[in-house]
Amino acid sequence: MPDPNFSWIYLIIFLAIPLARIIPRVLAKKRTGNKIPGMFQEKQSQINVAEITPKPRIESSKPQTKNMLVLYALNRGSKTFESIQKNTGLNNKELDAILEDLEDNGMIKVEQKQGFFGPKIELYPTDKGFKEYHS
């Protein structure tokens, strides 16, 4: 008795099903072409110029000193020297001097932890530093 040939099942699984998903997409793309669909044309004509123009930033009444920038970065969750430097844009010497000043004034606390690759230093704002920034 000869073995039945079920190779047509493979054709259905590997060719027909993917083609059934691809062909409608290709046809829809061909119908619309490279035009913007009507729905988008209507919305495009309704855009107001005031929505596009950037709104001016309102400056705060108190001056933003470098100490306040560092406290802002600390209050936003930056813990390491590198992340504070990246967020504030200060160079190494300036940031080091500011952090020493903040530590001397009791606005930040420094914790040394043992990390996987050696000791690491994390900086945290104290209650005094938090109140100073938000006042």
pLDDT, tens digit, 9 for 90 and up, residues 31-77: 877 555 554 444 555 555 555 555 544 445 444 788 888 988 888 88
Instruction: pLDDT band for 2, please (50, 70, 90 cuts).
Output: low
How many other C-beta atoms are found inside a 10 Å radius of the C-beta of residue 113?
A: 8
Residue 19 makes CB contacts below 8 A (sequence gap 6+) with: none
Domain total of the chain: 2
The whole-model pTM stands at 0.52
Q: What is the mean pLDDT of the chain?
A: 78
Burial of 88 (0-12, 13-18, 19+ CB in 10 A): middle
Are 74 and 121 contained in the same domain? yes
Are 25 and 82 contained in the same domain? no
pLDDT at res. 46:
57
Instruction: Please check whether residue 60 lies inside any domain of the structure.
Output: no
Q: What is the CATH number of the domain that holds 88?
A: 1.10.10.10
What letter would DSSP give residue 62? Answer: S
Q: Which domain holds residue 19?
A: 7-45
